[in-house]
Amino acid sequence: MIYLDHHATTPVDRRVLEVMQPYFTTMFGNPASRTHRAGWDAAEAVERARKQMAALAGASAREIVFTSGATESNYLAIAGVAAATPPERRHAVTVATEHMAVLDVFAQLAADGWTVTVLPVGASGLLDPDDLGRALTPRTSLVSVMVANNEIGVLQPLADITRRAHAQGALVHTDAAQALGRTRLDVRALDVDLASFSAHKVYGPKGVGALYVKRGVEPRLRAPMRGGGQERGLRGGTLNVPGVAGFGAACEMARQELDAEAERLGGLRDRLWQRLQELVGGVSLNGVLSPRLPGNLNVTFADVDGEALLLALTDVAVSSGSACTTSQPSHVLTSLGRSAADALASLRFGLGRATRAEDIDRAASHVAEVVTYLRASSPRWQLARTARSNERPST
């Protein structure tokens, strides 16, 4: 199987696993135990990981709060700001193409009486900052826009978004789970206030994440879960020390290899897009090709049954959208103007460290064979071909 679903998850790097292993067995201490060597060793591992994570994101170590993953980080950021916001400022803004881990929290805020503005995107997948400017009011307390989309990989103009939000006194949160380790990310340069991260998107273990909380923002954030006082009182509970150590190691490796890997994956992504266009007619790109994550390609195959397409791709691991909502048409693609049928007939390719040129060529050939086969038995495709043929001028 050729694995091209790295936006859903990545394998734990063997070097990361080696770093994690001692903290399961010989170095098993609780980092909150400050009276003996076992606790000191665990605390040292956590603080080392905090520095490694911060270095990759452009933050300081003190601004990193460890969580169980980006979903919890998103909730802590959004619900935490909401809990500390006075009634007169209960207006928030987000974007239609956000991950459901963000949209679901905003839906709950709306049910609780907040005014929530969900902004559209164009066919490019990008938010128009002017739309945000028109949506902002003196009541706006929070804006949440992801850096890199988890399905179509486009990079939002976050610095402009942040500047406009701050002019109205609003905090800015970004879901940066897909951006970390895949593209240059500097939360300070972007001037965001809160940013969510996940270890398993960057060759670390599942069940570990982090939230960046810019210095000075803490008074405007009230933890929705209490208990234990760990992580400066923002996230109680004993830390997953092996996972945190692995997250830190994964971040350090990504930082060292980022530029070369991004260039390599960008070349392979372009090769895949070119090969698909050569081998398959009726294929179109979702979202702009630039700015985009280097390892992302999302395309729609016209007049193909989406369910049959995914079932027939036995040799290539891909998806039609987010791993969290695979049974429904992608809300990201329908927000771009795709029909439900076209959204289901779309594939998200996520390239990763193990991807090689031969994998790209084999994957493109296999996808082309499956699409061609499905179209040959599709009345919809035959009708579309006939319609296109009738539209051609006679000679």
Quick one: 300 and 236 in the same domain? no
Weakest-pLDDT range from 314-318, 323-327, 371-375: 323-327
Is pLDDT at 389 greater than 50 in this prediction? Answer: yes
Quick one: 248 and 269 in the same domain? no
Q: How far apart are CA 93 and CA 111, in angstroms?
A: 15
Q: Indicate the residue among 229, 254, 279 that finishes a domain.
A: 254
Quick one: 262 and 250 in the same domain? no
Taking a C-beta distance cutoff of 8 angstroms, is the pair 351, 265 a contact? yes
pLDDT at 324: 59
Quick one: 247 and 279 in the same domain? no
Is pLDDT at 395 greater than 50 in this prediction? Answer: no
Is pLDDT at 325 greater than 60 in this prediction? Answer: no
Is pLDDT at 205 greater than 60 in this prediction? Answer: yes
pLDDT at 233: 83
Q: How far apart are CA 310 and CA 152, in angstroms?
A: 18
- Catalytic residue numbers? 324
Q: How far apart are CA 364 and CA 209, in angstroms?
A: 33
Weakest-pLDDT range from 117-131, 266-280, 324-338: 324-338
pLDDT at 297: 98
Q: How far apart are CA 123 and CA 111, in angstroms?
A: 29
Domain CATH for 268: 3.90.1150.10
Q: Tell me whether residue 99 is in a domain.
A: yes
Quick one: 245 and 315 in the same domain? no
Give the pLDDT confidence of 349-358 residue by residue, as tens digits: 999 999 999 9
Quick one: 158 and 277 in the same domain? no
Phi/psi of residue 12, each to 5°? -70, 125
Q: Indicate the residue among 204, 239, 254 that finishes a domain.
A: 254
Q: Tell me whether residue 380 is in a domain.
A: no
pLDDT at 21: 98
Eight-state DSSP code of residue 349:
E
Chain mean pLDDT for the chain: 94
pLDDT tier at 224, thresholds 50, 70, 90: confident
Q: Is the pTM of this model over 0.75?
A: yes
Q: How far apart are CA 194 and CA 140, in angstroms?
A: 16
Quick one: 314 and 177 in the same domain? no
Report the domain count for the chain.
2
Q: Tell me whether residue 173 is in a domain.
A: yes
Q: How far apart are CA 68 and CA 84, in angstroms?
A: 22
Quick one: 209 and 343 in the same domain? no
Is pLDDT at 386 greater than 80 in this prediction? Answer: no
**Structural domain for 248, as ranges:** 14-254
Quick one: 32 and 106 in the same domain? yes
Residue type at position 104? D
pLDDT-above-90 percentage for the chain:
89
Q: Tell me whether residue 8 is in a domain.
A: no
Strands across the sheet containing 115-119: 64-67, 209-213, 194-198, 171-175, 140-144, 91-95, 115-119
Which residue did the predictor score with more confidence, 67 or 392?
67
pLDDT at 170: 98
Q: Tell me whether residue 220 is in a domain.
A: yes
- Alpha helices, DSSP H only, in the chain? 14-20, 37-57, 70-83, 100-111, 129-135, 158-167, 187-190, 241-279, 306-312, 331-335, 340-344, 357-376, 379-391
Domain CATH for 71: 3.40.640.10
pLDDT tier at 387, thresholds 50, 70, 90: low
Q: Tell me whether residue 214 is in a domain.
A: yes
- Mean local confidence (pLDDT), 125-140: 97
**Maximum C-alpha span of the chain:** 90
- Mean local confidence (pLDDT), 148-174: 98
Residue 155, SS3 per DSSP: strand
Quick one: 52 and 162 in the same domain? yes
Q: Tell me whether residue 110 is in a domain.
A: yes
* Structure tokens, 34: 């400050």
Is pLDDT at 391 greater than 90 in this prediction? Answer: no
Quick one: 245 and 355 in the same domain? no
* Structure tokens, 179: 């951006």
Quick one: 75 and 190 in the same domain? yes
pLDDT tier at 42, thresholds 50, 70, 90: very high
